[in-house]
Amino acid sequence: MVLAGALALTGGAAEAAEKVTLQLKWVTQAQFMGYYVAKDKGFYKEAGLDVTINPGGPDIAPPQVIAGGGADVIVDWMPSALASREKGVPLVNIAQPFKKSGMMLTCRAETGIKTPADLKGKTLGVWFSGNEYPFLAWMAKLGLKTDGSAGGVKVLKQGFNVDPLIQKQADCISTMTYNEYWQVIDAGFKPDQLVVFKYEDQGVATLEDGLYVLEAKLKDPAFVARMAKFVKATMKGWDYARQNFAEAAKIVLDNDASGAQTEKHQTRMAGEIAKLLDVKGGALDPADYERTVTTLLSAGGDAPVITRKPEGAWSAAVTDAAK
């Protein structure tokens, strides 16, 4: 009878756990280690949550997933989220685990490029599908045209690989500090054979990897309370991962159903990701938000990511409740 009663209580506790579905922006990798650590270490369970983490991929758009009811909260980059908001998907940033951008331009040193001014006349690999806007803002800041005209730069639409640099199709390519840069190194380049320009250092960085929900949901106090538990447990996961990134990488690998990742690459990625994280609870810094919006509005181009300053695109309600 005692055993039966204990089992009944356990079953009741399990049923009482609040469900949360998180949609990631990309495939399972150390970029998202904080979420996997929070689940593996029981931080979500301790908070009374039953969290499902759905990996992303090239054919998965988080804003579309949440708009269709497939997730409660998503990981997205702010340019994408703001673009979605302007187009009718009312996303709101509720927390910002990533404080710094990992985006940079990596160049072959043999091209003679030493400073941003040396980019004039060069061929630069650029990611599109929304990732080009910080680059366009940077070029606008430098006074370099991107339409192929004289005195500007030649833009090469880059896939999600480093081939253009290795095959010398481009003088520089887009890379992330935690991923593609190391693919270049693994391809045989030495650090002194490369010149890198971090978007953070150039003053045109935009916020990456934030947590977003649908605006209407924030009118429900129960939803806000549930997200507060989720964010608090998530940031506990990120803090643990930041301090134990080798262990965090192994936890990520344990959750990689594809088997495509390696321990060496994930451990290195985890170490670099740790340098980008917020360490103060994940609340969005309004100054970082304003910088992102200013950068996007200054990018110009024929198809700007946003055409006007957003209203209501972020809220401190969840992080305030998490405190």
Residues 220, 82 within the same domain: yes
**Residue 60's domain is classified under what CATH number?**
3.40.190.10
218 with 225: CB under 8 angstroms?
no
Q: Which of 167, 187, 202 is the last residue of a domain?
A: 202
In a domain, 1, yes or no: no
Sheet holding 91-95, edge to edge: 49-54, 18-23, 73-76, 210-214, 91-95
Average pLDDT of the chain is: 93
Query: What pLDDT score was predicted for residue 311?
Result: 96
What would the pLDDT profile of 252-284 be if each residue is shown by its tens digit?
999 999 888 999 999 999 999 999 999 888 999
Sheet holding 194-198, edge to edge: 154-157, 123-126, 172-176, 103-108, 194-198
In a domain, 10, yes or no: no
Secondary structure of the chain as H, E, C letters: CHHHHHHHHHHHHHHHCEEEEEECCCCCCHHHHHHHHHHHCCHHHHCCEEEEEECCCCCCCHHHHHHCCCCCEEEECHHHHHHHHHCCCCEEEEECCECCCCEEEEEEHHHCCCCHHHHCCCEEEECCCCCCHHHHHHHHHHCCCCCCCCCCCEEEECCCCCHHHHCCCCCEEEEECCCHHHHHHHCCCCHHHEEEEEHHHHCCCCCCCEEEEEHHHHHCHHHHHHHHHHHHHHHHHHHHHHHCHHHHHHHHHHCCCCCCCCHHHHHHHHHHHHHHECCCCCCCCHHHHHHHHHHHHHCCCCCCCCCCCCCCCECCHHHHHHC
List the domain range (segments joined by +) for residue 186. Answer: 103-202
The pLDDT of residue 9 is above 60: no
Percent of the chain clearing pLDDT 70 (strictly above): 94
Measured distance CA(207)–CA(294) in Å, rounded: 12
In a domain, 65, yes or no: yes
Residues 191, 222 within the same domain: no
Phi, psi of 76 (to 5 degrees): -150, 160
> Which two structure tokens, joined as six digits, stand for 213?
């929900």
What would the pLDDT profile of 117-176 be if each residue is shown by its tens digit?
999 999 999 998 778 888 998 998 999 999 888 889 999 999 989 999 999 999 999 999
Report the domain count for the chain. 2
Query: What pLDDT score was predicted for residue 15?
Result: 60
- pTM for this prediction: 0.91
The pLDDT of residue 250 is above 80: yes
What would the pLDDT profile of 28-55 be if each residue is shown by its tens digit?
999 999 999 999 999 999 999 999 999 9
In a domain, 42, yes or no: yes
Q: Which of 181, 202, 223 is the last residue of a domain?
A: 202
Instruction: Tell me the β-bridge partners of 105.
Output: 174, 197
> Which pLDDT band holds residue 12 (cuts at 50, 70, 90)?
very low
> Which two structure tokens, joined as six digits, stand for 222?
């129960």
Residues 156, 274 within the same domain: no
Percent of the chain clearing pLDDT 90 (strictly above): 84
Secondary structure of 185-248 as H, E, C letters: HHCCCCHHHEEEEEHHHHCCCCCCCEEEEEHHHHHCHHHHHHHHHHHHHHHHHHHHHHHCHHHH
Q: Which of 202, 225, 247 is the last residue of a domain?
A: 202
Sign of CA dihedral 57, 63, 81, 97: negative
Measured distance CA(190)–CA(183) in Å, rounded: 11
Measured distance CA(321)–CA(323) in Å, rounded: 5
106 with 184: CB under 8 angstroms?
yes
Q: Which residue has the higher pLDDT, 302 or 70?
A: 70
